[in-house]
Structure 1
């Protein structure tokens, strides 16, 4: 019996439309019954456990090598937590102790130890900890499968195009997508910064995460539409809906082909004003994607994943090599490295961040760095070393006052002195800027501008803090208004303050990738727009289609308006008047 059309919602983390039959995989956990052994079997059981761990580690190393070959060494580092877990004393030694002291089989002892770790991580009720629990569960399945002589392959080969529907994917499983014909993904678990989100964006596979009960709601073989742009999963679409999405997909592909011509072109307005269009990235392996879309460098290199992917802080050597690798791959264009923005939604246990009832107004970003100067200086030293032969700039996040800027600059100078005393080569001078994402920084921009080389406006947080609204809260999300006049006036004040002091001002929040805002931002005088790479050709095309003087008059009118809806309606009308149809996603 044919089922009716239904739409499931989640979080779109990789844009695009995919249409194919569902391929459902249930994560069947391996059930273990307690099994006792005799004292005479202890040594054999411990040896059997060690062989299974070694085999599991070797398997993961092979998978990691495959990812490194396809996406680069830094992307392959996503698998590092699982590989490290294989030699974690708290897991390996404790398992061997349980075997010997409790006279339990290797399977029983390992399951007992690893399950305690999984339970502790799940009890933390934190998205980052949940990601780590997935690593533990994947290691559990792999080691137990090797102990019991079972297959550890979760992702099976498919001969035709399918949509993968699954509860969650561990890094090792995600890596297997490269060798299959999965054209889209729908997962029950995962968030925008999860390894699945990062890897599917890099692979350009449409993906929706956080779809409640997705494996129960879909039958194997049912036609599924993944709308990664809008976070929708349409199941058993009607003929009308199917035709609509087939046309949308064709239009998207045609639009993408039409806009591809702008990748290699400079973003200059009709009257010759150049606006730098850069890319945002969070994994070094994404550098190639940034370059392929025609970015003029990296306007925001988020470094948080270096801190959250393992249980240890990243070392100076590791960071210096990663930053150098990215800079070399994008030379001669510059990359702006944002110091760690941990805290709030990026809570990190490794820095000892306590539970906070309101983490977005608490201990995060530069506040952590100034409280833990040794941690921040390790990163600053790595950046200074990498910048010696590369075009690298430093950017500090979450600045709320001028004192923070001055102290952060002092830490740069202290880091230089340390490197010199140790005889380690470093950059003589490095451009330093801040994220303007707190209203106080925007209001004090004239004073702060005298202390830095550039500003980069982070509109995501600027909107949230200006309007006192959490966009993740459905009850108030309608108040999250990117085009609210209060926000626009802070943006304009920041740009003007930068130019008054002879420094440049960029914008790296979601507004940078919003084509509705591009002409207005040109008119406000923005110097750089940094965004997710796939949007770069579109934004370049819009810049090349307008006169900055016309854009200036449009921006002035936006700043006179008093309502978010008025600004959006006005910009939509003007964009339709000035831009060709190919720039609009019908």
Structure 2
């Protein structure tokens, strides 16, 4: 940028700052801004378009177009040149606007006299708030210096919008962070909760975007950069004990912290009139825009590094670090872009709910949330930008809906919903110690899933008869290095102690797919759910499997031990895994250590192939556990992480039930104990149907045991089975409508 234009840019920003300092309503401030920009750039037209809603842009201020068009002219996202700028988050600079693809003529504005068009997005941290436009009658393309000045001004307008500079009487905008907002996400853990927002990473708000002392701001930036580099060097030094893969990540991180081009861009922004923190945020916003458009995973990771470094630098410049963050409110609901299991465990069970912008239904955070029975909604796009610490929030984990700053009507309806659930919980508590016995006298064993020591206190209070699945991978996922055998043995012993003699089925390490160990080199697989995971990893890395099996044997210390191997797809895999367990038992015998009183060895049936295994499999396994979550996605070829397809297929689909019936019949023929484990086991109607077709053991999250037991005790399984068989004979695709009708007719419903 030329020195002369640097001076003009600073002058313009200075005038904008002075205009913002005036005691004026929001619309008057916007009108003043377009006048200043148009005059400074020698443009006949300057206009500001802002979003009315996520899909609609509105002309909120103009100098040069017809005044009566303000607040009347609107366009959809992607419509016209202005809509294209907003959608693509990129500028359009053309000397002949009418000749451009997508040009839309708006006669009410009087813009037909203007040929040139330069529009830049008004955005903050990747979120587009609107579009800033300048136009001239002459056909001309705006120079790089002029475009740069517009981008700087647009960034300042975005900051002013964030700070509420344009609200008030006659305002173009409603006050940000004050209006009720509803977010639609994806259910990852059911439940309903009312609470207050607690941001995992509070946003840094730049309150002083404009400066007239570039030398001082450059010094502030330089000092902060030096402190940042020292912090990154310390991180790298502390990583000496980790593997080479992690070191490379930290080295890339340090490379960005020492990037001269990054520093030069921020220094240029300061020369143009921005403060140090505003310059950092401007570059961060551009990085986030590039991140959202990047398809290369490596590039996205590197841009994420730059985004994280920018956050650290902003906190150093503003003092708005984690240590100065808000105190956790009562009934906290954690709001974050994403979160790992370690960070989530640090918060403990104090959280009432969790809302994430990203995440997946099988992520580490989801596993922990389910273990704690905390409502979790994922993929609530935009919530971290909109939410503030302490905001009232309602999380509906049944519908995947989040209400931020809800109005009285929504609050009242939600309070009724929570009250109904509380009354239901009272009913469930009254039958806690009663058996899950249907009216026909059939007993169904209800077991709980667990993965943390914190889950075990729920065993006696939930009414569970045992632990049908203990996930052992969480202890591996929350660490930065492989846990030691002695640590695992002590943990597994505590689990058995807490179970007080009840059966605990330990599933060996189930990693891969969406569960990647931070200290294991990731595999670039096109479809990780069908790739190198679970028992495949264990058999290819037998040292890890042996270490875990030894830890389990030592933890048993003479008590009964139940082990099941995950993701067994064929008989040979089960035999190889069992052989590893036999070797571990023999080794412990030679060492003179006490062996388990009994050893049960089972397999998880998560692939259709295992259901069609040779008969000898059913003779060799001590038990089978159907892993419903994975089995359903492979049976229907529908990725459970993909919202477009995962809800298209019903567990009560006749084809799926028919496959399960085949497995039940084969198990019955060979006397092989069988259970069903997964989300569907904890859904009352699904659990009822599973019991009706012959499952006698179901394993679910602790909070589901009460509702499932309540329904089972009210029903006659023979009648339910008859309805299922009639629906199948009619050719119904799913038995759900028929079973639901039966429940309503007999008064068996929840």
> What range is the shorter-chain TM-score in?
0.7 to 0.9
The structure whose RCO (Cα within 8 Å, separation 6+) is larger is: 1
> Helix, strand or coil: the match of 1:476?
helix
Q: 1:8 to 1:522 in 2, by over 3 A?
A: same
Shift of residue 519, structure 1, vs aligned partner: 2.5
Q: How many residues align?
A: 520
**Does residue 244 of the first structure (1) align with residue 413 of the second (2)?**
yes
In the aligned structure 2, how far is the partner of 1:229 from the partner of 1:577?
A: 25
Higher helix share: 1
Cα displacement string for residues 365-413 of structure 1 (whole angstroms, at most 9, x for unaligned residues) = 2222222222212222222222333343111111122122222221111
In the aligned structure 2, how far is the partner of 1:438 from the partner of 1:194?
A: 20
1:210 to 371, 379, 398: 379
Counterpart position of 1:72: none
Shift of residue 439, structure 1, vs aligned partner: 1.2
> Helix, strand or coil: the match of 2:470?
strand
Counterpart position of 2:725: 556
**Does residue 257 of the first structure (1) align with residue 257 of the second (2)?**
no
Counterpart position of 1:571: 739
**Does residue 26 of the first structure (1) align with residue 202 of the second (2)?**
yes
In the aligned structure 1, how far is the partner of 2:224 from the partner of 2:355?
A: 41
After superposition, the CA RMSD in angstroms is 4.5
Q: 1:500 to 1:27 in 2, by over 3 A?
A: same
**Does residue 157 of the first structure (1) align with residue 327 of the second (2)?**
yes
In the aligned structure 2, how far is the partner of 1:179 from the partner of 1:360?
A: 30
In the aligned structure 1, how far is the partner of 2:582 from the partner of 2:528?
A: 30
Counterpart position of 1:358: 527
Q: 1:300 to 1:372 in 2, by over 3 A?
A: same
1:515 to 677, 684, 690: 684
**Does residue 419 of the first structure (1) align with residue 595 of the second (2)?**
no
Contact residue 342 and residue 479 of structure 2 kept, 8 A = no
Cα displacement string for residues 123-157 of structure 1 (whole angstroms, at most 9, x for unaligned residues) = 9959xx99xx99x979x969x98xx9996436533
Using the size of structure 2 for normalisation, the TM-score is 0.60
In the aligned structure 2, how far is the partner of 1:230 from the partner of 1:223?
A: 19
Shift of residue 452, structure 1, vs aligned partner: 0.8
> Helix, strand or coil: the match of 1:506?
strand
Shift of residue 227, structure 1, vs aligned partner: 0.9
Q: After superposing the two structures, state which structure 1 stretch, 157-166 or 362-371, moved more.
A: 157-166
Shift of residue 262, structure 1, vs aligned partner: 2.3
Cα displacement string for residues 203-229 of structure 1 (whole angstroms, at most 9, x for unaligned residues) = 554332332221223466654321123
Counterpart position of 2:488: 319
In the aligned structure 2, how far is the partner of 1:4 from the partner of 1:149?
A: 28
Counterpart position of 1:233: 402
1:7 to 159, 176, 182: 182
In the aligned structure 1, how far is the partner of 2:458 from the partner of 2:382?
A: 33
Q: 1:457 to 1:257 in 2, by over 3 A?
A: same
Using the size of structure 1 for normalisation, the TM-score is 0.75
Contact residue 405 and residue 451 of structure 1 kept, 8 A = no
Q: 1:417 to 1:538 in 2, by over 3 A?
A: same
Structure with greater Cα Rg? 2
Gaps of 5+ in 2: 1-173, 207-217, 264-293
Shift of residue 560, structure 1, vs aligned partner: 3.5
> Helix, strand or coil: the match of 1:549?
helix
Match runs of 1:54-93 below 5 Å:
none
In the aligned structure 2, how far is the partner of 1:175 from the partner of 1:244?
A: 32
Shift of residue 293, structure 1, vs aligned partner: 1.2
Shift of residue 191, structure 1, vs aligned partner: 4.2
Shift of residue 493, structure 1, vs aligned partner: 1.0
Contact residue 604 and residue 625 of structure 2 kept, 8 A = yes
In the aligned structure 2, how far is the partner of 1:20 from the partner of 1:326?
A: 32
> Helix, strand or coil: the match of 2:564?
strand
Shift of residue 197, structure 1, vs aligned partner: 4.2
Q: 1:219 to 1:384 in 2, by over 3 A?
A: closer
Counterpart position of 1:59: none
Shift of residue 268, structure 1, vs aligned partner: 1.8
Gaps of 5+ in 1: 39-44, 54-81, 109-121
> Helix, strand or coil: the match of 2:557?
coil
Cα displacement string for residues 450-506 of structure 1 (whole angstroms, at most 9, x for unaligned residues) = 111111111222221122221323443344332222211111111111111112110
Counterpart position of 1:308: 477
